[in-house]
Amino acid sequence: MAGTGVAEQTPTGVAATDVAPAELEPARSFAWSRVVAGVGILAAAVAITATMVLLLRSDAPSAPVVRIDPAKLLLVQPDQHAADVPLNAPIVVQAPEARIWGVTVLDPAGHPVPGSISPDGHRWQSSALLAPDTRYRVIVQASLARGLLGRDLVGRRTSFTTLRPSALLSPTITPAEGQTVGVGMPIALRFKAPIANRAAVTQALSVTPSIPVEGAWRWVNPREIHFRPRQYWPAGEHITVVAKFAGLDAGNGVWGDADRTLHFTVGDAHVTTVDTNAHTMTVTSNGARMNIIITAVTDTSSQPAGPCRRPLIARPSGAGPGCGRI
């Protein structure tokens, strides 16, 4: 009852101000479940992060290391330690699964062999001939795409040696450089060894006159070849002779080691014509004609051999005995 100081009883005999334990328990249980859920989410996030780190690491157990063999990735010709390599053989580097960004080829003196890389970066080839009996070093640098890991660098070093020729072309050429010659002068090349591949040597020769003339090369013997114009050279002609002999295989171990170029000039046209029946000799100088009377023309074909024997001797009037020519 109110005002008596006695708490009012509920039908169950419990005071109204008391809270039953059954009513407090559900609230405490809800708070702990939220904490447990948060911890679970955090643990899952940590696990996912750890898994991603393992997948991205190159040394992760799930991503085995792939070993690169430069000899299989970078293909170099001539082969490693190759010997007797021809002087005209190209140096070729191929990298089908990589991109070449540097190739260096050096002789013992450190002189480089020039070359170029293809636009796609998968091939390099030299652009110069090789020296005889020389050891070359080849240094290749390339890169390999490895997906998320970026680009790995790979390199290779090889060496090879060129052949030693049995002989070099190195011909003696006449006329000499800068010489002035007559209108009937042939161009002659004389070699130190017999030439087996004469067709290749002939194709390597060219004659360029300032005034076009018709002419041809002819082998006199296995060591000598001549060029003659069909008619006389024109007076004042300037002629250039080029022999592309560098790296040329002339057969039987004979190789060319260098190109040759020379220039010569044709002087005045002095032409002498002998008529044995009329006993006259006609001389023209740049087209101007002069007549000289010959007293005797001797055929020496039936004479015994000797220092004065000549196939044909023309003696001017008043000339005494002897074997001089006009």
Q: Say if residue 51 is in the same domain as residue 83.
A: no
Q: Say if residue 183 is in the same domain as residue 236.
A: yes
Number of Cβ within 10 Å of residue 156's Cβ equals 21
Please give the Cα distance from 158 to 160 (Å, whole number).
7
pLDDT in tens, 170-194: 999 999 999 999 999 999 999 999 9
Higher pLDDT, 235 or 45: 235
Please compute the mean of the pLDDT values over residues 208-228 and round it to a whole number: 96
Number of Cβ within 10 Å of residue 41's Cβ equals 9
pLDDT of amino acid 254: 96
Please give the Cα distance from 109 to 7 (Å, whole number).
116
Q: Say if residue 172 is in the same domain as residue 261.
A: yes
Given pLDDT bands bounded at 50, 70 and 90, which one contains residue 13?
very low
Q: Which amino acid is at 321?
A: P
Give the domain-ending residue among 244, 266, 288: 266
Whether the predicted pLDDT of 252 surpasses 90: yes
Q: Say if residue 104 is in the same domain as residue 157.
A: yes
Contacts (Cβ under 8 Å, ≥6 apart) of 13: none
- Beta-bridge partner residues of 170: none
Provide the token pair at 202: 């002939």
Q: Domain for residue 10, yes or no?
A: no
Whether the predicted pLDDT of 313 surpasses 80: no
Give the domain-ending residue among 162, 191, 224: 162
- Beta-bridge partner residues of 188: 174, 226
Given pLDDT bands bounded at 50, 70 and 90, which one contains residue 297?
low
pLDDT of amino acid 235: 93
Q: Domain for residue 183, yes or no?
A: yes
Q: Say if residue 172 is in the same domain as residue 252.
A: yes
Provide the token pair at 19: 């809270």
- Beta-bridge partner residues of 312: 299
pLDDT of amino acid 53: 52
Q: Domain for residue 110, yes or no?
A: yes
Given pLDDT bands bounded at 50, 70 and 90, which one contains residue 290?
confident
pLDDT of amino acid 31: 55
Q: Say if residue 206 is in the same domain as residue 232.
A: yes
Q: Say if residue 147 is in the same domain as residue 178.
A: no
pLDDT of amino acid 70: 85
Most confident segment among 23-32, 50-59, 81-90, 278-287: 81-90
> How far are the Cα atoms of 184, 268, 269, 285 from residue 288, in angstroms, in the given order?
17, 11, 10, 5
Whether the predicted pLDDT of 68 surpasses 90: no
Provide the token pair at 54: 């393992």
Q: Say if residue 137 is in the same domain as residue 178.
A: no
| pTM of the predicted structure, to 2 decimals | 0.62
Q: Say if residue 251 is in the same domain as residue 299.
A: no
Give the DSSP letter of residue 308: T
Q: Domain for residue 152, yes or no?
A: yes
pLDDT in tens, 29-42: 445 566 555 656 66
Q: Say if residue 188 is in the same domain as residue 278.
A: no
**Side-by-side strand order, sheet with 135-145:** 82-85, 151-162, 135-145, 99-106
Q: Say if residue 49 is in the same domain as residue 94.
A: no
CATH of the domain at 244: 2.60.40.3710
Domain count, the chain: 4
Please compute the mean of the pLDDT values over residues 243-262 and round it to a whole number: 94
Q: Domain for residue 84, yes or no?
A: yes
Q: Output the CA torsion 68→69→70→71 (10° steps).
A: -160
Given pLDDT bands bounded at 50, 70 and 90, which one contains residue 298?
low
Q: Domain for residue 126, yes or no?
A: yes
Q: Say if residue 40 is in the same domain as residue 76.
A: no
Given pLDDT bands bounded at 50, 70 and 90, which one contains residue 45?
low
Contact 72, 96 (CB under 8 A): no
Q: Could you give phi then psi for residue 121, rounded to 5 degrees?
A: 80, 10
Q: Domain for residue 18, yes or no?
A: no
Look at the block and give the residue holding tokens 């020519």: 325
Contacts (Cβ under 8 Å, ≥6 apart) of 299: 312
Higher pLDDT, 294 or 180: 180
pLDDT of amino acid 247: 92
Please compute the mean of the pLDDT values over residues 18-23 and round it to a whole number: 45
Provide the token pair at 240: 């250039």
Give the domain-ending residue among 104, 133, 162: 162
> How far are the Cα atoms of 25, 39, 53 from residue 45, in angstroms, in the given order?
31, 10, 12
pLDDT in tens, 106-126: 999 999 999 999 999 999 999
Element (H, E) at 209: strand 205-209
Element (H, E) at 25: helix 21-56
Please compute the mean of the pLDDT values over residues 134-154 and round it to a whole number: 79
Domain range for 101 is: 70-162
Please compute the mean of the pLDDT values over residues 62-68 and round it to a whole number: 55
Q: Domain for residue 172, yes or no?
A: yes
What are the E-state strand segments in 42-134?
75-77, 82-85, 92-94, 99-106, 115-117, 123-126
Q: Output the CA torsion 60→66→70→73 (10° steps).
A: -130
